[in-house]
Structure 1
């Protein structure tokens, strides 16, 4: 019996949160503009190219085993 009130309350709170987010971020009821770095597609593509070009300095490569959800370090095979 109480489950319908809980589910309804959670759904209503998500709806209210979405409404606030939409009007504050999208409609900008408090003023402001969207930065050009977000709105400019060419800028975004160049930034993405830059991030993809950076060398990776992480540890050794890791392969995820999807069955056991464990990570195993991949070691080079002796030749």
Structure 2
């Protein structure tokens, strides 16, 4: 098997996966709706405020991002 066949098969599999994902999740062929928490901007802002207000006792304060699961250390501004 040559490299062009392998690359073509990988590209084709990504294409099939994309079509399946779009059909199932975006077109909702199995029913269901998008949760209100995803659509509601106010809910998102309140959740973000809640995450930012949690006290942190083990180290420096961090900015918590629940979507990407990344925590960023907040450095105090010294002027």
Quickly name the TM-score band, shorter chain normalised. 0.5 to 0.7
User: TM-score with structure 2 length normalisation?
Assistant: 0.67
**Secondary structure at the residue paired with 1:50?**
helix
The structure 1 segments of at least 4 consecutive aligned residues displaced by more than 2 Å after TM superposition are 56-61
Q: Which residue of 2 aligns with 1:40?
A: 40
Matches within 5 A, 1:18-33: 18-33=18-33
- Structure label with greater radius of gyration: 1
Compute the displacement of 1:60 (Å): 6.8
Question: What 5-or-longer segments of structure 2 have no aligned partner?
Answer: 62-79
User: TM-score with structure 1 length normalisation?
Assistant: 0.67
In structure 1, C-alpha distance between the alignment counterparts of 2:8 and 2:56, rounded to whole Å: 47
1:18-68 C-alpha deviation (Å, 9 max, x unpaired): 11111111110111000101111110111111111112244579xxxxxxx
Question: What 5-or-longer segments of structure 1 have no aligned partner?
Answer: 62-79
